[in-house]
Structure 1
């Protein structure tokens, strides 16, 4: 009798476990099937796997339908996107080498891909792509510049956020293909700045861009001082926390760079990727005093920088992951946040290489602030909401303008 009870309990226990990947229906496509196995084995939330498995079966059944307008490759891409979307979380998606995200993520997760980096990015194994340092957001058949990295060829050429990108060298814009093989050359980009205006032609130098060093340089190049009401307001954009020297660039700009004499600071957290240390905000919030080591020749080495003057931060849907922790910490200490709700994308992700060399980013751990605060799906709300309409913005930035005005008010109030 005891053995029968034990056997029944074992069956109940096994029934509660997720279905092993081997028991799931197989599509016969190695990329799709590998994606399914990785999700079942590594995704952080077991409760989502029933929904995921239903989506897998549905996509396999649909793929066997004799009526389809898509090519086999397009069908696989659509199917993978659909099963991953069924998980309904951040830090989960597939990225292919025809997009900038692929190269940036490969650099962010370079350690996880270390065994394959030389093969993926010959000859030195450094993730890099030919580009000009801008991101274009697609919508309604049009593409609009959503980010221009500070100090990039696009910035130097005068391309502005909100510009409609019409063509590159006479062909439709493609993130990677438009510039492939053209590093060291120039391209002709046709833009429209306002609806109905005549197109603008911009000649832009193409460079071989390494994402993390590029982000570090963009952070450094973004630092500037604005004179308002006889006061100096500093500005710097923290494009990512994932680059090794992201916070060092901010600290150097504050301690002995262009922002050293600022009376107040506008800190722009509208980034591309999160990452980084969970206590990065300590530069602005920490209680320990600034600390420097003075060398024999008088050179000072920064060991511990602390900013004690007023701060206003800008956030939006690009504020994600580690940058959301940063924004949450600032708000908890009374720092004013301006802009739009952050992404609500706070989980721990990992990247896996799929058989076709595309990348699968997968959420592998939950993330909790304090005892029970989760930002996943919720984000951080600004204290001062300011909308930003991208198309034909012509470089205007109402969120930054509002943050500067907020700092002016804080400085005037003393």
Structure 2
């Protein structure tokens, strides 16, 4: 039944709309509420490695608790000797929008618009509420706080902190056709502030989605509730983000994608 309904929902050609079965639904809400069970395997979403003078920061997800500010800072510390940084976002299906600020401050600096979002109630509001900074994931309340803000402020402009410090080293962002939601957003924001994007066009799945518990125990519905626009006001939903330097090998999880990207980045480092 879940598969049948989900297949029908796909015909809407709209992102963030899906029915979850009891196993998926209960696991999702445990992650949202940060109460994973002993059987939930939460793999670290952030890792770092060096390839010559290129520091590669791999980010598989922006979903908390898979990604935290502490984990990001620990990974970044391993790349202190790198001359150029490659952010590898291949396969990143997104997560909490505000969690992208853990990384993007390094690329674009202080007091920069990250995105604007509007709910249906916000369509009649002319000036957005400005939120600057990000939630502290250490208090185990980021997801709830982000939803609460969207409910209280139906038209919001999100910005980096005024005290943010931009990393002076060159940065590149590697994306593929599985980069969606807040990964789409990260790619768009980075590119619009002059950071070079490598790979292939992103997924283009940038409606803000919310999970709803249904009457049937464990079942959940993910549905879009928020319109999201890039820093320059561009619509990414259904469009995606086109890279500055296309690497065909990155399509459909192709081989040699990372190797090709490292070649481009290494050339810049020299």
State TM-score, norm by structure 1: 0.46
Structure-2 separation of matches of 1:104 and 1:341: 30
**Aligned with 2:29 (options 101, 106, 109):** 106
Alignment check: 8 A CA contact 1:312 1:403 kept:
no
- Alignment-derived partner of residue 18 in structure 2: 93
User: Is it true that 1:336 corresponds to 2:196 in the alignment?
Assistant: yes
RMSD over equivalenced CA pairs, Å: 2.8
Alignment check: 8 A CA contact 1:241 1:247 kept:
no
Q: Deviations over 1:83-132 (max 9, x none)?
A: 42243211110122455xx4663345338xxxxxxxxxxxxxx23474xx
Q: Deviations over 1:278-320 (max 9, x none)?
A: 76222211048xxxxxxxxxxxxxx855321011111112211
- Alignment-derived partner of residue 364 in structure 1: 225
Structure-1 separation of matches of 2:3 and 2:110: 50
Structure-1 separation of matches of 2:204 and 2:21: 24
Alignment check: 8 A CA contact 1:243 1:276 kept:
no
User: Is it true that 1:385 corresponds to 2:249 in the alignment?
Assistant: no
User: Is it true that 1:127 corresponds to 2:50 in the alignment?
Assistant: no
Alignment check: 8 A CA contact 2:45 2:61 kept:
no
Alignment check: 8 A CA contact 1:103 1:127 kept:
no
- Alignment-derived partner of residue 236 in structure 2: 375
**Aligned with 2:105 (options 279, 282, 302):** 282
Aligned residues: 213
Which one has more relative contact order, counting CA pairs under 8 Å at least 6 apart?
Answer: 2
- Alignment-derived partner of residue 124 in structure 2: none
Relative to structure 1, the CA distance from residue 233 to residue 82 in structure 2 (aligned partners, 3 Å threshold; closer, same or farther) is closer
SS at match of 1:223: strand
State TM-score, norm by structure 2: 0.69
Structure-1 separation of matches of 2:164 and 2:231: 25
Structure-2 separation of matches of 1:328 and 1:314: 12
Structure-1 separation of matches of 2:36 and 2:13: 29
Relative to structure 1, the CA distance from residue 378 to residue 411 in structure 2 (aligned partners, 3 Å threshold; closer, same or farther) is same
Structure-2 separation of matches of 1:403 and 1:103: 38
User: Is it true that 1:251 corresponds to 2:96 in the alignment?
Assistant: no
Q: Select the structure of larger CA radius of gyration.
A: 1
- Alignment-derived partner of residue 307 in structure 1: 167
Relative to structure 1, the CA distance from residue 324 to residue 388 in structure 2 (aligned partners, 3 Å threshold; closer, same or farther) is closer
Alignment check: 8 A CA contact 1:274 1:320 kept:
no
Structure-2 separation of matches of 1:305 and 1:233: 21
User: Is it true that 1:399 corresponds to 2:224 in the alignment?
Assistant: no
Alignment check: 8 A CA contact 1:240 1:246 kept:
no
Relative to structure 1, the CA distance from residue 278 to residue 372 in structure 2 (aligned partners, 3 Å threshold; closer, same or farther) is farther
Structure-1 separation of matches of 2:165 and 2:71: 11
Relative to structure 1, the CA distance from residue 370 to residue 329 in structure 2 (aligned partners, 3 Å threshold; closer, same or farther) is closer
Q: Deviations over 1:12-59 (max 9, x none)?
A: xxxxxxxxxxxxxxxxxxxxxxxxxxxxxxxxxxxxxxxxxxxxxxxx
SS at match of 2:221: strand
Alignment check: 8 A CA contact 2:62 2:100 kept:
no
Stretches of structure 1 lacking an aligned partner (at least 5 in a row): 1-75, 112-125, 131-207, 289-302
Stretches of structure 2 lacking an aligned partner (at least 5 in a row): 112-162
Structure-2 separation of matches of 1:91 and 1:246: 23
Alignment check: 8 A CA contact 1:242 1:275 kept:
yes
